[in-house]
Structure 1
């Protein structure tokens, strides 16, 4: 029995953060219905595409697995009625439109809560929602890059003498999506106890401040703005990446036992005596870093791992090809196969890191085709559906869900 197999989620989100959140819920067993505007989530058209199929690209496949799709035009009164009928039986609604978008269609939280008082309405925006805390930025659009910049993540990322640098992956979206899933699960737990749903909200800017929590307390304690320092750490040593003969390794010898093991591997027993405490090592980090750097540079990555892995937290700096060849990734089912529509071909996508003994998550099937599940979700009348199809074909410029030309990712 999946942990969330009694939960139905209406997913109105697009791009990355919101779909990642609802994908986690789908992995846990929730029935996630992806409600898409005419033409669908525009990420469907984002490459790379597989040679055997061009229905949607890898971006869409990776974060929309296990969901069902129905296409609705909120400018159409009949489609709005269909949506409201779905709300009656839903447990969760997730959207990442800009503030005020759902109000334009008369589908705001307050109206939906009248229809279904148990509904958990979850908004994920760049700068939050006035219902949970007003912000002067709430009508601005936001994407991952903007959130990383504002939240202090970019300022602290990169080499000391280099420019602010975004994290290579979309942490502004992904981390916010994970927090949003936590937010939703907490609201469902509250509903289980009280029978009452609620409005919940996770802002990308807020999430990035939370992710950069170290800078917040450092500034408070010291009065100084933390600066970029590459792969090193301001208060821990050795904690860095070092260049070997054929690659890079990271070494995090923080405990005294780790330090002793590292010194023994380097044949530097004198360092164990001279720098016995973490404070000693931090105070002399420049000298010690130079010695570790020289020692590492004389060995291959494999040689270093052979002598360090048992006693020192360390690892190679891997690229994705290395991850594919890693026994851990395969045995932990972190690389899974997803089918392509209308073909027997499969592609590899990231699995779920959420592991449970009694209710193990199931990453589910491939991502859905646009409107693939209309009949089973809306229980459509064939004649009415034919009329609807003719109406759309006659309209050369169908009006889709609009939010003023911008949205939160």
Structure 2
């Protein structure tokens, strides 16, 4: 397994983020920033982030007040409890803003404004502060959506942004994709937006408001459906495990599982034909070029499937691995047994609080040689760093107790 880092060594080690987010989209955004070295201060209400209640939970629940969900997307952060509904809690937060590069939140439209900590208020205190919001349908400051006040979850964003309509078996009404793309992709884009806006603020001395709508992010992810419809009136539909424009480019059944094989180019197609014992298909009129293979996709898929079903996944990857784009359909168990994630530091063993064993988390995929990213600290217990963070801001413990 990969090992945790010993300190914040990433390229954002001189960046400070105040994190007001909960659930997944926002915490994923700030997790990326923290993995890249930012000092992320997670500002939680007295009851904590709702994500703390989600499992899987460790055996020692008293020693660890969160489960795997929270542990994954809140590593590398410090936690402070502030009740911003009170004057003392709000005042303490505003003092923290003076030293922050950015504030990130994912509340519904208007929540932070009504609490007295919206962007315009924070800009008065720190003109260089960047304020980032992740909402289902965006913020009126950047474009008023008719759905601005609607609540949204991952499945809503996937549906409205076009992802569901192009996913799943042919002839279906569409499927939600497994990972919470409606949260994770907006969070990823928001992290890029935060870094970009901080870069501009350091050049100009002026911060700005930015937001990412979950709907917008998924629409951007599905860019193909936009130009297909705009340019040719084509409404993309679920295409199963393939694509309507390349062949073969599919998931194929094996004797003991399944593999992805992509051989749409002529060189890869020739190698695949040789591997399956059908070199004649290179010149066969039905399969002699990419256009003909797409036109006869059912025929091509049937030929390849007949070959894959007669062999194990391991036999197939051994036969064409490194020659034709191929890969097994891995379960989590398979990934843990695959040497790639270990070699790349993508399975990281992280110590947990209390009398609990370490937990393996997905590592940071952004690899830097000079300023390494990664996991250097477990997720914090609720309010674990409150006194430390307040002291850094020159706020007395008595003040803390009032808040």
Superposition TM-score tier, normalisation by shorter sequence: over 0.9
Match of 1:37 in 2: 45
Provide the rounded CA distance (Å) in 1 between the counterparts of 2:301 and 2:357: 49
Match of 1:365 in 2: 377
Match of 2:15 in 1: 7
- Tell me which moved more, 107-116 or 158-167: 158-167
1:8-53 deviation per Cα after TM superposition (whole angstroms, max 9, x unaligned) = 0000000001000000000111000000112100110111101134
**Count of residues in Structure 1 that have an aligned counterpart in Structure 2:** 388
Paired residue for 1:374, among 386, 391, 394? 386
Paired residue for 1:114, among 100, 124, 127? 124
The 5 Å alignment of 1:222-233 reads 222-233=232-243
Provide the rounded CA distance (Å) in 1 between the counterparts of 2:398 and 2:293: 77
The 5 Å alignment of 1:117-156 reads 117-156=127-166
Alignment CA distance shift 1:382-1:284 (3 Å):
closer
- Tell me which moved more, 180-189 or 59-68: 180-189
Paired residue for 2:258, among 240, 248, 251? 248
Provide the rounded CA distance (Å) in 2 between the counterparts of 1:37 and 1:266: 61
Cα distance, 1:383 vs structure 2: 4.4
The 5 Å alignment of 1:208-357 reads 208-274=218-284, 275-343=287-355, 345-357=357-369
Partner-residue secondary structure (3-state), 2:267: helix
Q: Contact 2:79/2:383 (CA < 8 Å) preserved in 1? A: yes
Q: Contact 1:336/1:351 (CA < 8 Å) preserved in 2? A: yes
Alignment CA distance shift 1:316-1:33 (3 Å):
same
Partner-residue secondary structure (3-state), 1:68: strand
Provide the rounded CA distance (Å) in 1 between the counterparts of 2:10 and 2:298: 52
Q: Contact 1:233/1:240 (CA < 8 Å) preserved in 2? A: yes
Partner-residue secondary structure (3-state), 2:259: strand
Provide the rounded CA distance (Å) in 1 between the counterparts of 2:121 and 2:274: 68
TM-score normalised over the length of structure 2? 0.94
Partner-residue secondary structure (3-state), 1:280: helix
Moved over 3 A (4+): 380-385
Partner-residue secondary structure (3-state), 1:364: coil
Provide the rounded CA distance (Å) in 1 between the counterparts of 2:337 and 2:268: 28
Cα distance, 1:291 vs structure 2: 1.1
Provide the rounded CA distance (Å) in 2 between the counterparts of 1:18 and 1:125: 9
Provide the rounded CA distance (Å) in 2 between the counterparts of 1:369 and 1:246: 43
Q: Contact 2:88/2:399 (CA < 8 Å) preserved in 1? A: no
Cα distance, 1:319 vs structure 2: 0.4
Residue 105 of structure 2 corresponds to residue 78 of structure 1: no
Q: Contact 1:52/1:345 (CA < 8 Å) preserved in 2? A: no
Provide the rounded CA distance (Å) in 1 between the counterparts of 2:274 and 2:177: 35
Alignment CA distance shift 1:384-1:190 (3 Å):
closer
Provide the rounded CA distance (Å) in 2 between the counterparts of 1:25 and 1:341: 23
* Unmatched 5+ stretches in structure 2: 1-8
- Tell me which moved more, 199-208 or 303-312: 303-312
Cα distance, 1:111 vs structure 2: 1.2
The 5 Å alignment of 1:99-110 reads 99-110=109-120
Cα distance, 1:67 vs structure 2: 0.3
Cα distance, 1:362 vs structure 2: 2.5
Paired residue for 2:169, among 143, 159, 176? 159
Cα distance, 1:382 vs structure 2: 4.0
TM-score normalised over the length of structure 1? 0.92
Cα distance, 1:221 vs structure 2: 2.3
Alignment CA distance shift 1:384-1:18 (3 Å):
closer
1:283-311 deviation per Cα after TM superposition (whole angstroms, max 9, x unaligned) = 12121111111111111111111111131
Match of 2:58 in 1: 50
Alignment CA distance shift 1:80-1:259 (3 Å):
same
Cα distance, 1:119 vs structure 2: 0.2
* Unmatched 5+ stretches in structure 1: 390-409
